[in-house]
Amino acid sequence: EVQLVESGGDLVQPGGSLRLSCAASGFTFNTFWMHWVRQIPGKGLMWVSSISSHGNDLRYAESVKGRFTISRDNGRHSMYLQMNSLRVEDTAVYYCAREGGGTFALDYWGQGTLVAVSS
Amino acid sequence: DVQMTQSPSSVSASVGDRVTITCRASQDISSWLAWYQQKPGKAPKLLIYAASSLQSGVPSRFSGSGSGTDFTLTISSLQPADFASYYCQQTNTFPRTFGQGTRVEIK
């Protein structure tokens, strides 16, 4: 069974940093692209960042470029999102998701982890 | 960036109704479009990929169509479990933009 479990969400002050983790199981992790998507409570979905299966192709939304860094450790079946210079508008539930092979769609999602940026 | 525009933003419908949601891309995305369902407090769930392919395990009352810039998600006979929010996402290019969502409410 495919499972994605996020962790690391917390309350942090503006300008602070946080590292989110996504632990994957139930599939061959090193053959899939992985993504982060966020959602402000009560609002819509926003794609944040993506990483290729071997970690050599990284993509970011313009609003997080230069502040967030996506990475993965295929040996640990895990993906990460290092979030620096956090802003109030980064407050959201952050989901990790797997991209289905050949479909480009996000076929499995984690339960989400809440990041709250507030003074 | 490709802008995705969904309509309507909300729809009130009854059990058994046929519901259609549209999604328009600001440029040609071929058939690289996905549809997701999201219930309150839960993660999104993939319904349709590549515009018209039904994800495994999704009921056949859900269908998708379209190509280029105009797409539709149709629920042929609305069931109580279908009251939720629905999002389209273009999967053609980065950034992988979502539509703003459509809430399907009980009439």
What does the mean pLDDT of chain A come to?
97
- pLDDT reported for residue A102: 84
Amino acid at B45: K
All residues at 6 or more sequence positions from A49 whose CB lies less than 8 Å from its CB, including other chains: A35, A36, A58, A59, A60, A61, A64, A68, A70, A81
Q: Which residues of A45-55 are buried (b: 16+ CB within 10 A; e: fewer)?
A: bbbbbbbebee
Taking a C-beta distance cutoff of 8 angstroms, is the pair A6, A94 a contact?
Answer: yes
Percent of chain B with pLDDT over 70: 100
User: Is some CB atom of chain A closer than 8 A to the CB atom of B103?
Assistant: no
Q: Inform me whether the pLDDT recorded for B79 exceeds 90.
A: yes
Q: Which residues of A touch B43 (CB under 8 A)?
A: 95, 109-112
Residue B81: CA atoms inside 13 Å, Cβ hemisphere, count? 5
Residue with tokens 């069974």: A1
Least confident of A98-107, B54-63, B93-102: A98-107
Closest chain B residue to A42 measured between Cα atoms? B40
Taking a C-beta distance cutoff of 8 angstroms, is the pair A95, A22 a contact?
Answer: no
Contact A107 B46 (CB under 8 A): yes
What does the mean pLDDT of chain B come to?
97
Q: Inform me whether the pLDDT recorded for B35 exceeds 90.
A: yes
pLDDT mean over B54-69: 98
Q: Which residues of A touch B29 (CB under 8 A)?
A: none
Residues A56, A68: Cα–Cα separation, whole Å: 16
Q: Inform me whether the pLDDT recorded for B107 exceeds 90.
A: no
Query: What pLDDT band is residue B106 in, cutting at 50, 70 and 90?
Result: confident
Q: Beta B10-13 vs B33-38: how paired, if at all?
A: unpaired
Per residue in A8-66, pLDDT (tens digit) is 999 999 999 999 999 999 999 999 999 999 999 999 999 999 999 999 999 999 999 99
Residue with tokens 């079946």: A77
Per residue in B90-105, pLDDT (tens digit) is 999 999 999 999 999 9
The string of DSSP codes covering A18-46 is EEEEEEEESS-GGGS-EEEEEE-TTS-EE
Query: What pLDDT band is residue A78 in, cutting at 50, 70 and 90?
Result: very high
Which of B101, B100, B96, B102 has the alpha carbon at shortest distance from B2?
Answer: B96
- pLDDT reported for residue B32: 98
Q: Which residues of B touch A106 (CB under 8 A)?
A: 34, 36, 44, 46, 89
Taking a C-beta distance cutoff of 8 angstroms, is the pair B25, B90 a contact?
Answer: yes
Amino acid at B55: Q
From A62, A100, A110, residue closest to B43, measured CB to CB: A110
Percent of chain A with pLDDT over 90: 97
- pLDDT reported for residue A101: 83
Residues A44, B87: Cα–Cα separation, whole Å: 8
- Class of residue A1 by CB neighbours under 10 A (exposed 0-12, middle 13-18, buried 19+): exposed
Taking a C-beta distance cutoff of 8 angstroms, is the pair B91, B32 a contact?
Answer: yes
- Supply B83's token pair: 């009251």
Query: What pLDDT band is residue A103 in, cutting at 50, 70 and 90?
Result: confident
